[in-house]
């Protein structure tokens, strides 16, 4: 991915956790690779927790450098990367300070990218302050999640930002869409004749999408207790992954062709019947338990969490898509904190053979399955049945690994690196369009409303397990189970 696109990348929240762990390391990796960032490109960090550029560079050396390059830091590349960085001290609550930013970037080259690595409450004030000094013209704005608390608040933010930036200037980021296995899922489906004929209800029994975390809420108790797993993970990450898995082949890979097909999936989601919600939606909250031999506290005792909180830390859903390709195929979504392992994966369970001359073992549901692992170790694995050595026809599961790292010498690109390069180069396909976001909120909001109205507490589960038993029971009703393998 080579570019000659000159740019000025303005990073709001320049001393924040996201900038430290993801954004600046991703920009360094693009810089280190050579040719991915134009030599004239500049990074302008905006923050109020550093006095000047010297102090900010010191902060970058101390806090960002440990997060870059798994194979060690190329000191020559690191030094030249630091030369790209400028700094502007701004109080984001004072619009008059934005004149300082205007003066700092007026002579810098190329397209201007404004990355808002801040809380959502600052999105609109920042955009209005940028417009007040003319910095919204011919620029691109990147918005991190969460974008709103519900459909109404999401629309309010989008309306306000939309008055300042045109839709084609707005990049709503979902980093899961930038992961290499998700890109390879598109390649497998739409670049090969082998999979696409099987990618439909006649041959697929069920599909699972899991994003599991070992971590708890950490230092985000106040934020998480007002958000919960459904808003934090399902409305964005899980529904975006579902859209990629289920979409029809796009006309091309241009931005609107891809996002049009994702939108059709979101609009085809079968609404959740409030009277049936207990059968298709499970919410849970972790209690005290153990993670890898270490005792961990219950959610309700985490700092910042209300003692009697009913906020869910786990969600499992059965989702149906009402269209010709997927009618009758259940999609099972699962996410949670303090689970038994850290894993994000998509599992496509294919139907068993209709008749077997090889014995009952060939009739196992899900014997053929495709597992797309997003984290921690990115991979794609195809499971089949094969004869065990020895006498008789006894079948056992074997797998084929699609080992891309053995075919391609260059290392895999991290999600944020790919997405930041897409912003700089004006590629919108991997970013969420407003109508997609609205469709996702419309589907999720009735679940939120029903949970709130019922006032039932989440089902408890011990930290270090795979969540409430009800989540497994939901799949058992369909003759299947969650795929739970060791990393």
Q: What are the angstrom distances between the C-alpha of 242 and each of 183, 283, 323, 354, 409?
A: 14, 19, 14, 27, 30
Domain-by-domain residue ranges, the chain? 7-144, 177-409+446-476
Domain spanning 7-144: CATH superfamily: NAD(P)-binding Rossmann-like Domain (3.40.50.720)
Q: Selecting from 3.40.50.300, 3.30.360.10, 3.40.50.2030, 3.40.50.720, what CATH number does the domain 177-409+446-476 have? A: 3.30.360.10
Which strands sit side by side in the sheet containing 7-12, from one edge to the other? 85-89, 42-47, 7-12, 111-116, 139-143, 170-172
Cα(476)–Cα(201) distance, rounded to whole angstroms? 19
Q: What are the angstrom distances between the C-alpha of 238 and each of 234, 344, 391, 420, 458?
A: 5, 10, 45, 21, 20
Q: Which residues are catalytic?
A: 237
User: 44 pairs with which residues across the strands?
Assistant: 10, 86
Per-residue model confidence (pLDDT) at position 249: 94
Cα(356)–Cα(4) distance, rounded to whole angstroms? 58
Rg of the Cα atoms in the chain: 24
Per-residue model confidence (pLDDT) at position 71: 66
Tokens encoding 170:
């707005």
User: Average pLDDT per run of 10 along the chain, which is 487 residues long?
Assistant: 77 95 96 90 93 94 88 88 96 92 94 94 95 96 90 96 97 93 87 91 96 91 93 95 96 92 98 91 96 94 93 98 97 97 95 81 74 86 88 84 73 89 95 97 95 92 97 94 75
Per-residue model confidence (pLDDT) at position 4: 58
């Amino acid at each position: 991915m080579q570019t000659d696109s000159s740019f000025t990348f303005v990073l709001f929240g320049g001393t924040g956790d996201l900038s430290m762990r993801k954004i600046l390391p991703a920009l360094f990796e693009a810089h280190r690779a050579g040719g991915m960032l134009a030599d004239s490109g500049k990074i302008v960090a905006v923050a109020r927790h550093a006095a000047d550029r010297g102090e900010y560079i010191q902060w970058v050396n101390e806090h960002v450098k440990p997060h870059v390059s798994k194979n060690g830091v190329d000191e020559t590349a690191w030094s030249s990367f630091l030369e790209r960085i400028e700094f502007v001290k701004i109080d984001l609550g004072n619009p008059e300070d934005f004149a300082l930013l205007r003066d700092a970037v007026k002579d810098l080259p190329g397209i201007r990218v404004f990355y808002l690595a801040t809380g959502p409450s600052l999105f609109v004030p920042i955009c209005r302050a940028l417009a007040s000094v003319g910095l919204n013209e011919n620029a691109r704005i990147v918005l991190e999640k969460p974008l709103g608390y519900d459909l109404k608040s999401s629309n309010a933010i989008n309306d306000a930002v939309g008055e300042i930036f045109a839709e084609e200037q707005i990049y709503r980021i979902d980093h899961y869409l930038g992961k290499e296995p998700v890109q390879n899922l598109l390649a497998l489906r739409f670049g090969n004749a082998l999979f696409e004929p099987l990618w439909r209800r006649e041959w697929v029994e069920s599909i699972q999408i899991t994003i599991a975390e070992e971590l708890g809420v950490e230092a985000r108790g106040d934020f998480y207790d007002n958000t919960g797993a459904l808003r934090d993970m399902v409305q964005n990450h899980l529904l975006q992954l579902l859209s990629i898995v289920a979409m029809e082949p796009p006309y091309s890979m241009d931005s609107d062709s891809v996002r049009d097909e994702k939108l059709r999936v979101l609009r085809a989601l079968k609404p959740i019947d409030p009277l049936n919600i207990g059968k298709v939606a499970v919410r849970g909250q972790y209690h005290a338990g153990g993670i890898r031999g270490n005792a961990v506290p219950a959610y309700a005792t985490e700092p910042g969490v209300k003692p009697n909180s009913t906020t869910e830390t786990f969600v499992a859903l059965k989702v149906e898509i009402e269209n010709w390709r997927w009618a009758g195929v259940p999609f099972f979504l699962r996410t949670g904190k303090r689970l038994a392992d850290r894993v994000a994966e998509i599992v496509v369970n294919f139907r068993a053979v209709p008749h077997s001359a090889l014995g009952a073992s060939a009739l196992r549901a899900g014997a053929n399955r495709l597992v797309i692992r997003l984290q921690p170790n990115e991979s794609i694995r195809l499971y089949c049945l094969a004869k065990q050595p020895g006498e008789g026809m006894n079948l056992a599961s074997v797998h084929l690994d699609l080992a891309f790292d053995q075919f391609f010498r260059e290392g895999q690109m991290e999600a944020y690196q790919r997405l930041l390069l897409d912003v700089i180069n004006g590629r919108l396909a991997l970013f969420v369009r407003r109508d997609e976001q609205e469709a996702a909120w419309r589907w999720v909001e009735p679940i939120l409303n029903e949970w709130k109205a019922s006032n039932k507490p989440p089902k408890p589960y011990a930290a270090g397990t795979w969540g409430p038993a009800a989540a497994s029971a939901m799949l058992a009703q369909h003759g299947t189970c969650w795929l739970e393998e060791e990393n």
